[in-house]
Amino acid sequence: MKKEAKKAVKKVAARAVTKGRKKKATNRRGFIKIVAVLVILVVVAFGVNFALGNPLGGHVQTFLENFQIQEPARVAAEGEIRVHFIDVGQGDAILLQSDDNAVLIDGGINRRAITDSLVAYLRDVGVTRLCYVVSTHPHADHVGGLPTILREFEVDHVLMPDLMHTTNIFAEFLEVIDEKNIPVSMPNRYDENFFSAGIIHMYVVNPGHGPYRASRDLNDVSIIIRMVHGETAFIFTGDAEIPAERRMLESGVNISADVMLAGHHGSRTSSHPEFVAAINPSIAVISVGEGNTYGHPNDEVLETFAQRNMRVYRTDQLGSIVLVTDGTTITGPR
């Protein structure tokens, strides 16, 4: 790996740690600011009323009532989230989109034509800014297109596992993060594990605490996001394999979902029947390249899904797949 790349790795790793701490402080400062502004508004409203000879009169009351009406941002199930499983051949790229909020999970392989079509897809559906870019793990079929994505779009935040990797494409990803000074979080399910972009609510359910053993564990360190919208949920499993699936089952973390992305492109090393049973999904999506040399998806995995009467959508058969949830119902291609 190039010297500068190594430097970028170190810088980003160090920044991720301090960012985590800084974020909490910033949140606290933000809260204090909001309270201060409210106090000022109430005092001003009170002052105006008092000057008008109407102390504690209608205006203050109305202001407070209005504030209370506007306050609850807890109507989680209102609005639609569109989940795009974008066809990037053999790889993953998933877009979560709701109004102006968008999250991209992985960016497909590093091949010019594929990355160009990914960028075009995002522009076509109206994405200009990504609240989060998630790099599930540093393998090329996931991180490959992400350096370009970071250059082409405004990106607020990057999520990635706390594991460094020594390939050029991953180093490039880190270099762009550093160049554009994008905040990085390296979540795990024991502390910082909830992220949201508008109504897109995401829980990171894997990995648990590190440190992780270099490349042997790369797939199992995949960031797995469980997205919850109202009564519906989706789980995006990255390339996590059976050891990671077992660890999630043992930990008792909530993985239930209506839609699961079949782990590792439908490989037999993932989607163990017990893991699928614990998720209890009605739909599986397999993000896989047509005629790939890995034999993905595997017959055993397809059999697991068939036995559970699950609906299976495959990007090698359908191209890009869009599922829409309104918090109660999930609709997809027929």
List interacting residues with Zn ion (CB under 5 A).
141, 239
What residues does 102 pair with on adjacent strands? 97
Own/partner pairs, 176-181, CB within 8 angstroms, 24+ separation: 176/147, 176/150, 176/151, 177/8, 177/12, 177/150, 178/8, 178/11, 178/12, 178/15, 180/150, 180/151, 180/155
State which residue, 152 or 239, has the beta carbon closest to Zn ion. 239
Quote the least distance from Cβ 238 to Zn ion, whole Å: 7
Three-state DSSP class for 11? helix
The least CB distance from residue 141 to Zn ion, in Å, is 4
**Residue 217 beta carbon to Zn ion: minimum distance, rounded to whole angstroms:** 14
CB of 41 to Zn ion, least distance (A): 51
Rounded Cα distance between 95 and 107, Å, is: 10
- What is the helix, strand, coil percentage profile of the chain, to 5? 40, 20, 40
Q: Looking at beta carbons only, is 239 or 245 nearer to Zn ion?
A: 239
DSSP 217: G
Q: How far is the CB of 262 from Zn ion (least distance, A)?
A: 11
Smaller CB separation from Zn ion, 142 or 272:
142
Nearer to Zn ion, 108 or 281 (CB): 108
Look up residue 296 and give its DSSP letter: P
Q: Which is nearer to Zn ion, 141 or 220 (CB)?
A: 141
